[in-house]
Amino acid sequence: MEDKRSAVVALYQNGRKPSEILNELKNTGVNRMFIYRTIKRFTETGSTKKRYGGGRKTIVRVPANVGKIRKRLRRNPRQSLRNVAKMTGISATSVRRIAKRNLGLKPYKIHKAHELTVTQKKNRLLRSKQLLQRAANGEFKKIVFTDEKIFTVQQVLNKQNDRVWAASKSSCDSKKFQASRRQGPPSVMVWAGITQDGRTPLVFVPDGCKINAETYRNLILEQGLKPWADSHFRNSHWVFQQDSAPSHKARTTQQWLRDNTPDFISSSQWPACSPDLNPMDFSIWSILESKVCSTPSANVEILKARLLKEWDKIPQDILRSACETFKKRLSLVVKARGGLIEKRCIFLIC
3-class secondary-structure state, position 18: helix
Residues of the chain with pLDDT > 70, as a percent, come to 95
Burial of 225 (0-12, 13-18, 19+ CB in 10 A): buried
If asked whether residues 40 and 95 sit together in one domain, one would say: no
Residue 299 falls inside a structural domain: yes
If asked whether residues 71 and 98 sit together in one domain, one would say: yes
If asked whether residues 132 and 17 sit together in one domain, one would say: no
If asked whether residues 84 and 222 sit together in one domain, one would say: no
Distance separating alpha carbons of residues 204 and 220, to the nearest angstrom: 9
- What are the start-end ranges of the E strands in the chain? 143-152, 187-195, 198-199, 203-205, 239-241, 263-264
If asked whether residues 96 and 134 sit together in one domain, one would say: no
Residue 51 falls inside a structural domain: no
Q: pLDDT at position 54, please?
A: 64
Residue 131 falls inside a structural domain: yes
Residue 32 falls inside a structural domain: yes
CATH code (residue 151): 3.30.420.10
pLDDT band at 53 (very low <50, low <70, confident <90, very high): low
For the beta carbon of residue 10, count every other beta carbon within 10 angstroms.
11
Q: What is the DSSP letter of 330?
A: H
Q: How far is CA 89 from the centre of its chain?
A: 35
Distance separating alpha carbons of residues 254 and 128, to the nearest angstrom: 20
Residue 154 falls inside a structural domain: yes
If asked whether residues 237 and 297 sit together in one domain, one would say: yes
Distance separating alpha carbons of residues 202 and 225, to the nearest angstrom: 10
pLDDT at residue 347 tops 60:
no
If asked whether residues 290 and 184 sit together in one domain, one would say: yes
If asked whether residues 195 and 132 sit together in one domain, one would say: yes
pLDDT band at 317 (very low <50, low <70, confident <90, very high): very high
Residue numbers of the domain that contains 289: 118-335
Q: What is the pTM of this model?
A: 0.71
Distance separating alpha carbons of residues 100 and 347, to the nearest angstrom: 10
pLDDT band at 102 (very low <50, low <70, confident <90, very high): very high
Q: pLDDT at position 349, please?
A: 35
Burial of 180 (0-12, 13-18, 19+ CB in 10 A): exposed
Question: For 15, left (φ over 0), alpha (ψ -120 to 50), or beta?
Answer: left
Min mean pLDDT across 120-134, 169-183, 234-248 is at: 169-183
If asked whether residues 30 and 133 sit together in one domain, one would say: no
Residue 300 falls inside a structural domain: yes
If asked whether residues 178 and 87 sit together in one domain, one would say: no
Q: Are 291 and 330 in contact (CB under 8 A)?
A: no
Residue 53 falls inside a structural domain: no
Q: pLDDT at position 345, please?
A: 33
If asked whether residues 176 and 217 sit together in one domain, one would say: yes
Q: Of 53, 73, 102, which residue is a domain's last?
A: 102
Residue 327 falls inside a structural domain: yes
Q: pLDDT at position 251, please?
A: 94
Report the mean per-residue pLDDT for the chain.
89
pLDDT at residue 154 tops 80:
yes
If asked whether residues 241 and 301 sit together in one domain, one would say: yes
Distance separating alpha carbons of residues 105 and 97, to the nearest angstrom: 10
Nearest to 220 by CA among 204, 239, 197, 236: 204
The angle at the Cα of 265, spanning 263 to 267, to the nearest 5 degrees, equals 135
Structurally, how many domains does the chain consist of? 3
Rg (CA), the chain: 33
Q: Are 300 and 186 in contact (CB under 8 A)?
A: yes
